[in-house]
Every structure is written in structure tokens, then in C-alpha cells.
Amino acid sequence: MKRTGILCAALAGVWLCVVPAAQAQEKQVAEQIVAVVGNSMILLSEVNETAKTMAEERRQQGYTSDRDPMCEALETLLMQKMLANQARLDSLEVNTGGIENAIENHVNGLIDQYGSLKALESVYRKPVYQIRDELRDHYMDMQLAQMMEMDIRGKVAVIPSEVEKFYRGVPKDSLPMVPEQYVYAQIVMYPPSTEQAKLRARERLLEMRQRIINGDRFDMLARFYSVDGSASRGGEMDPMPKEGFVRPFAEALEKLKPGQISEVVETEYGFHLIELLEKKNNLYRCRHILIRPEFTPEELTVSAHRLDSIANAIRHDSLSFEEAAARFSEDKYSKMNGGVVSNHELVELYQADARRASTRFFREDLGPDYQYLRNLKPGEVSESFQSQDLRGNQLSKIVILKEIVPSHRANIGDDYTQVEEMALKAKQDKHYREWLEKKMAAMYIRIDPRFRNCDFENKGWVK
């Protein structure tokens, strides 16, 4: 990436400045370059401000470090520059859409901080387009460094024999305490008026589509009406290949030309209007408006009343919970398992390792179900209540508490996943340290004499 002029980047409102290589000689005194990593330089001002930022973050988290803050900040910057340099050499691809969103949020935050765009430009003595350009350089370095570390660690895996060896070798009192866990079952019902609610959602989007054709801005309608997380960005999503979208969405997107608006598209998440902004190579940049079917209180009570009747039958032993789940539940993941809830759908949705499937849930993972489970004793059935599935669709359910697993020290029999994660992290850390040592030995690194006595965690910085 070419650099022209002095580039300054911001992190959490702190400006970090870097001098281009061509101007290094004439700027050295004024800019006080304290380290060089490959073809990147680190300024004293960067170290100062990074130290302040790290200290403030730790203060908010309630702890302090016993290391020299300037030395710690310098090592953080050394690591970031080295990883970013290697990422460029390895041609790692950056999510430019995510960077642009981060820049826009950062600039908007600065405008709010100083009261106006004019005030921001006055404080930094430069136009906003230059501020954006300089932010882009810093965010690029940050993301490249993160991607490079993930790439290094992602090449490491563990097999069961390594997990067992790790477990045997680690002191048992160093294993973490596993918090209390819940095992429960559910019977789920969706409102019987789903088709009418779908029709209403479709009609809302058809009306919005006509408004856009008549001149209303797509992004403004997305901000006001979309229920997707992208609404705050005017509906814009990160660029992705078509395989990254669910099939109906991808099929509709593939038919569009830049600037065109789709017809109403139904997916498992709801109903969408889609606008293609750009197609570059195999990446689609688009925005969308997502509307989910909504129900009236009267429509929602139909399923709730039916579930309350089923719960009463279970309490009076007229029907077992397992039989009721098989007969009445509309949740395909639990109904044939006696209603017992697992994270199987989540594992499937995010294409995670199937070994991560579990029927035990920590309190924080229960969502709204916890407030109904916490008052139950094992074997007791709740009243019906309103909830949502993983895709945000409204539903009613009843739950039965099966078991509360007390807090305990992690063990390989009951908590294999947690032990496996510890073994994997230990192996990744070792591999990462070895990679760093090898890379530091091979890369050109120069550190100013005033920092050569720093107690760096990685001793290879000083040569």
C-alpha cells in the first residue's frame, strides 16, 4: 500500500501517526521514530497514546499491569506491525466492507465528540476525507494483524490422545471451575395464523419497494424498518461470495445488476428486499431490508392456551412430557428426543464441529428461557410463555426442568469440550510463540536505545 504524507490513525479516539519511508530521514527528529519493523515505523507519539489507551481500558476493567506501560505499548505495536507485514507478504485478503463501516462509525463518533464536522476538521487541521484516508490505513493494519494471528493459530489442531495427555499432565487445581448448568426439555408451537402474518409482511415490503421506485432512499427505509443487525448501516452487509448467503437470497442476488432492487424474497429469516450495490470478482456487496412476520396478541394466545392445556395434562399424569413433545412440538431438533433441548441447531447453523453438541446450558446461554426455568424444581413444568427461535421467529413454548448440574472442577469425562479447548489453546500458544521467535529472528527490527532495556515478553525484539 502506498503512503503519501504523514498518515495518522485513530484507535478509540486516540491519534496514532506513522511517517512514510521516503520521508524518514528528514522527519526522524521531529517525529521521534523509536522502532522499525520491516518497512514499518513506530513513533514515540504512538507509544505514548497506546499506553494511555491500554491503561484506560484496564482501569475500566478493574485491573492494572505491573509492566512498564510504555514498554508494554511498544511491544503491542511491534507485534501488530510485524503481523501486518507478514499478512501482506502472504496476500491475506481484508474485509474492506468491514473496514469502511468501522471508519464511518469512528468518524461519526468523533463528530459527536466535537459537536460538528467543522469542529472536527478544525481540531485536526485537515478535511474529513483525509481523516478517513488515514483511519483506513490504521484499520487495515489492525485487521491484517488479527487475520495473520488467526491464520497462524488456525493451522493447529488437537487429537483425542493429545487432549488426554494434556489432562493427565495439568495440575487438577489449575483446571477451571465449570459454572452451574441446566438440562431441560421444551414443547414449541408457532402461531397457527402464520400464513396471514406472512402475507402482511410481504405486503409491507411491496409497499416499501414501490416507495423506493418512486424515489425514497433504500438505506433510509432500511434504517427505519429493517429488523436485521445491518439496519444501522442502511441495510448494507459485508461483501461475501454468494455461498455466504442463504440459498433464496443468493439466487435473487445473482439475478440483479448493480442498482437493481429485487422482488420480495422469502428465507428462513423472514422477507427481504435486496439491492445489489457492486459485484467484484466473486464478492457481492449489497444491502437489504428484512421484515419478519408479526402477530397480534390474539393470534399469539391461541398457541399459548393450547400449551397451557397440555401442561395441565402433564401435571395430572394424563400425558408424559415426552409423548406430548413427540405429538405436539413443532421444533424438529427436540421433539423426537423427548423435547430435550440441545445446541444442535446452533452447531448446524454455524457449521461447527458436531462434537460441540450438548444438552447442558450455562445460565447466560439460556436467554429468555432462564427466567422460567429458575423458578422450577427438577420435574416441574412451566406455564406457557412467548419466545423466539434462532432466526427471530415468534413462538410459544412450555419447558420442564430435567436437571441442574452443580458447579464443579472441569474433568475430561463430563467437560471434554472445555478440556479440549484448553489443550488446543496451549498447543496454539506454543506454535504461535515458535512462529514469533522464528519471524523476529528473520525480520529487520531496530529499537531506539531508550527502549532496549524494556522487559519484553518476547526477548527477540532486541538484537
DSSP 158-195: --HHHHHHHHHHS-GGGSPEEPPEEEEEEEEE--TTHH
Q: What mean pLDDT do residues 9-26 have?
A: 35
8 has a pLDDT exceeding 70: no
C-alpha cell at 390: 434462532
User: What pLDDT was estimated at residue 85?
Assistant: 92
Query: Are 140 and 52 in a shared domain?
Result: yes
Q: What mean pLDDT do residues 367-383 have?
A: 95
Question: Is the model more confident about 21 or about 278?
Answer: 278
- How many Å apart are CA 377 and CA 214, to the nearest integer? 58
User: What pLDDT was estimated at residue 236?
Assistant: 94
CATH number, domain of 202, equals 3.10.50.40
Say what percent of the chain tops pLDDT 70. 93
Within a 10 A sphere around the Cβ of 239, how many other Cβ atoms? 21
Query: Are 103 and 207 in a shared domain?
Result: no
* Planar angle of CA 378, 381, 386, nearest 5 degrees: 125
**Averaged pLDDT of the chain:** 89
Residues with Cβ within 8 Å of 91's Cβ and at least 6 positions away in sequence, in order, are: none
Residue 168 falls inside a structural domain: no
C-alpha cell at 384: 406457557
C-alpha cell at 396: 410459544
User: Mind listing the pLDDT tens digit for each residue in 248-285?
Assistant: 999 999 999 999 999 999 999 999 999 999 998 888 99
Residue 51 falls inside a structural domain: yes
- For the whole model, what pTM was predicted? 0.69
Query: Are 269 and 357 in a shared domain?
Result: no
Residue 424 falls inside a structural domain: no
Query: Are 327 and 398 in a shared domain?
Result: yes
Residue 414 falls inside a structural domain: no
Query: Are 43 and 105 in a shared domain?
Result: yes
User: What pLDDT was estimated at residue 46?
Assistant: 82
Dmax over Cα atoms in the chain, in whole Å? 88
Question: Is the model more confident about 142 or about 250?
Answer: 250
| Cα dist from 298 to 292, 305, 328, 403, whole Å | 18, 11, 20, 34
**What residue numbers bound the domain in which 216 lies?**
194-291
User: What pLDDT was estimated at residue 352?
Assistant: 72
- How many Å apart are CA 173 and CA 120, to the nearest integer? 53
User: What pLDDT was estimated at residue 4?
Assistant: 30
394-405 vs 385-388, strand pairing mode: antiparallel
Q: What mean pLDDT do residues 173-190 have?
A: 96
Residue 306 falls inside a structural domain: yes
- How many Å apart are CA 19 and CA 85, to the nearest integer? 16
Query: Are 101 and 206 in a shared domain?
Result: no
pLDDT band at 31 (very low <50, low <70, confident <90, very high): low
User: What pLDDT was estimated at residue 225?
Assistant: 96
Q: Give me the half-sphere count of Cα atoms (radius 13 Å) on the Cβ side of residue 21.
A: 7
Point out the domain boundary residue: 257, 291, 325: 291
Residue 416 falls inside a structural domain: no
Query: Are 53 and 22 in a shared domain?
Result: yes
User: Mind listing the pLDDT tens digit for each residue in 208-243?
Assistant: 999 999 999 999 999 999 999 999 999 999 888 999
Instruction: Find out whether 229 and 270 touch, Cβ atoms under 8 Å.
Output: no
Within a 10 A sphere around the Cβ of 452, how many other Cβ atoms? 11
If one counts the domains in the chain, the total is: 3
C-alpha cell at 453: 532495556
354 has a pLDDT exceeding 90: no
Q: What mean pLDDT do residues 417-431 have?
A: 95
Q: What mean pLDDT do residues 295-311 have?
A: 94
Least confident of 27-36, 91-100, 153-162, 353-362: 27-36
C-alpha cell at 196: 396471514
Query: Are 21 and 67 in a shared domain?
Result: yes
User: What pLDDT was estimated at residue 11?
Assistant: 34
Query: Are 271 and 302 in a shared domain?
Result: no
User: Mind listing the pLDDT tens digit for each residue in 43-88?
Assistant: 898 899 789 889 888 888 888 888 899 999 999 999 999 999 999 9
Residue 171 falls inside a structural domain: no
3-state secondary structure of 117: helix
User: What pLDDT was estimated at residue 133?
Assistant: 87
User: What is the number of helices (H) and of strands (E) in the chain?
Assistant: 15, 14
Point out the domain boundary residue: 291, 320, 345: 291
Residue 206 falls inside a structural domain: yes
- How many Å apart are CA 409 and CA 174, to the nearest integer? 9
CATH number, domain of 40, equals 1.10.4030
User: Mind listing the pLDDT tens digit for each residue in 107-119?
Assistant: 998 999 999 999 9
pLDDT band at 14 (very low <50, low <70, confident <90, very high): very low
- How many Å apart are CA 269 and CA 266, to the nearest integer? 8
Q: What's CA 402's distance to the chain center, in Å?
A: 32
3-state secondary structure of 111: helix
**For helices 128-154 and 96-114, what crossing angle results, to 10°?**
130
Query: Are 85 and 120 in a shared domain?
Result: yes
C-alpha cell at 337: 428426543
Query: Are 439 and 367 in a shared domain?
Result: no
Query: Are 234 and 352 in a shared domain?
Result: no
Point out the domain boundary residue: 291, 313, 329: 291
- How many Å apart are CA 238 and CA 123, to the nearest integer? 32
In the chain, the N- to C-terminal Cα span, in Å, equals 28
> Which of the 8 DSSP states describes residue 378?
T
pLDDT band at 378 (very low <50, low <70, confident <90, very high): very high
130 has a pLDDT exceeding 70: yes
User: What pLDDT was estimated at residue 333?
Assistant: 94
